[in-house]
Amino acid sequence: MSKKAQLSTEPYKGVRDFYPEDQALLNYLFATYRRVAQSFGYVEYHASVLEPAELYKAKGSENEEIVNEQTYTFLDRGEREVTLRPEMTPTVARMVSAKRRELGFPLRLFSIPNLFRYERPQRGRLREHWQLNVDLFGSKSVDADVEIVLVAYELMRAFGAQDNDFVIKLGSRSHLDQLVREHGLSAVAGRELINLLDRKGKIPKEEFDSKLATLGVPEGALSSDNEPEDIAKVIKALEELGVSNAVFDPSIVRGFDYYTGLVFEIFDTHPDNNRALFGGGRYDNLTALFDDEPIVGIGFGMGDVTIRDFLAVRNLLPPYIPPTRVYLAVTSPELVQFAMGVAKELREANIPAGIDFGEKKLGDQIKTATKHAIPFLIVIGENEQSSNSFTIKDLKTGEEKSVTREELSNFFNS
Ligand code: HAM
């Protein structure tokens, strides 16, 4: 017999399958994202993963690695160039511009989009990730900068992190622009400086220093002693609110061209996870792509991949608890109909109950319940059917309890 070529069960390179335990963890991350964002008055929005490619090619972003090398762009059947969104910021700027008259400002928005970047897959970097985006539109106040950093901080706390587990590094694009002017750098050299600073942690120190010298920027110009006034204000305000781990770091510049003011990244202090957990900043002109009168914005993105690594190395990941509370096994397929009636009553009392169809031996049915980590088991046989009383078994401890049909839901609800 010739062997038929079979398809691989591997997912596409750099993307993930989410089996129930992985999905439960993702749901936990999302629930925490939502709770914290909403606690600050942010409201949720959403948009399609497909965007016209021009959204990312627009205005001055030609140099960006993300547009040239990292987008998934294709022609649709109508010859339109389409991109799977690599980030949410251009989308939210587009949406806010489109409804600028209806939306009240300051406007607080959050979303949890799936994003796609053609990156070399490695620890902390995949070709697909979920990213919480928290953005505030319509305020130039430094208090808005403080609030955005505070949301990021409270997210980390909500995940169980202590202040010494992470550090909030603040930088300033306006400060950098000033530096570029002072040292007479051309626009191209200014751009190179941003790229160089953005890669500082990823390249050897000697390479960094020599490239910096080639650009004509003395190392001292990037000293953290030259703290700009606006950053000092943010750090002080945060300290007064109990945030002890925000610092000025002149090498934080962020790769995107649209940032104009405060920029920041949150880093894990654990040596195994030297990636940024969050990144964001102020972008006061992005909506100018759509309208002459720009609406100022500030926000950040936090990915699910890096926070998962952060939580894993600190044992902060919650244990998997399946939503199903009880599994009804049957001694023969003829009892399935009766079991369905019992399960229906349980569901009516808000107790999620799954049933076996009796196609396997009882021992194997119980193994299924264990594999699915379902905490309780009820075996339904002819006796249970005729007496309408059941034995509930705790599959972890082996403990058993007998109850009548009337008492069944009380057992789970008390
Ligand atoms: P970003 O720094 O490109 O910023 O991404 C923010 C965060 O998303 C990163 O710190 C990281 O946790 C996660 N992330 C990014 N790329 C990947 C990847 N390939 N795999 C896994 N995780 C990744 C932005 O995207 C900005 N649009 C954020 C923003 C919102 N700025 C203002 N508002």
Distances (CA, A) of 351 to 21, 343, 413, 414: 20, 9, 8, 12
Ligand 1, pocket-test mutation among 67, 131, 135, 266, most atoms within 8 A of CB: 131
Cβ atoms 377, 369 nearer than 8 A? yes
| Nearest atom (ligand 1) to Cα of 306 | 12
Chain centroid, CA 299 distance in Å: 14
Ligand 1 within 6 A of 173 CB?
no
C-alpha 99 – ligand 1 centre gap (Å) = 25
Distances (CA, A) of 369 to 308, 351, 355, 357, 363: 27, 16, 10, 13, 10
Ligand 1, pocket-test mutation among 42, 119, 129, 284, most atoms within 8 A of CB: 129
Q: CATH number for the 20-313 domain, one of 3.40.50.300, 2.40.240.10, 3.40.30.10, 3.30.930.10?
A: 3.30.930.10
pTM beyond 0.75, yes or no: yes
Distances (CA, A) of 250 to 174, 188, 255, 263, 374: 11, 20, 14, 10, 51
Ordered per-residue pLDDT tens for the chain, 414 residues: 567 789 999 999 999 999 999 999 999 999 999 999 999 999 999 999 999 999 998 754 544 666 678 999 999 999 999 999 999 999 999 999 999 999 999 999 999 999 999 999 999 999 999 999 999 999 999 999 999 999 999 999 999 999 999 999 999 998 888 888 888 888 888 888 888 888 887 788 899 888 888 888 877 777 777 778 889 999 999 999 999 999 999 889 888 889 999 999 999 999 888 789 999 999 998 888 898 889 999 999 999 999 999 999 999 999 999 999 999 999 999 999 999 999 999 999 999 999 999 999 999 999 999 999 999 999 999 999 999 999 999 999 999 999 999 999 999 998
- Using CA of residue 236, residue 242, residue 245, residue 246, what is the dihedral sign? negative
Residue with CA nearest ligand 1 atom 10: 278
Percent of the chain as helix, strand, coil, to the nearest 5: 40, 20, 40
Ligand 1 within 6 A of 299 CB?
yes
Residue 157 identity (one-letter amino acid): R
DSSP 108: E
- Using CA of residue 328, residue 331, residue 335, residue 337, what is the dihedral sign? positive
Task: Find where tokens 């939580």 sit.
Answer: 311
Residue with CA nearest ligand 1 atom 18: 125
Query: For the purposes of burial, counting CB atoms within 10 Å of the CB of 166, is it exposed (0-12), middle (13-18) or buried (19 or more)?
Result: buried
C-alpha 141 – ligand 1 centre gap (Å) = 24
Q: Which residues of 66-91 are buried (b: 16+ CB within 10 A; e: fewer)?
A: bbeebbbeeeeeeeeeebbbbbbbbb
Residue with CA nearest ligand 1 atom 20: 125
Question: What architecture does CATH give domain 326-413?
Answer: 3-Layer(aba) Sandwich (3.40)
C-alpha 62 – ligand 1 centre gap (Å) = 19
Ligand 1 within 6 A of 284 CB?
no
- Using CA of residue 225, residue 229, residue 235, residue 240, what is the dihedral sign? positive
Q: Would you kindly state where each structural domain of the chain is located, as residue ranges?
A: 20-313, 326-413
Distance between CA atoms of 249 and 263, rounded to whole angstroms? Answer: 10
Residue with CA nearest ligand 1 atom 14: 303
Ligand 1 within 6 A of 169 CB?
no
C-alpha 25 – ligand 1 centre gap (Å) = 20
Residue with CA nearest ligand 1 atom 30: 300
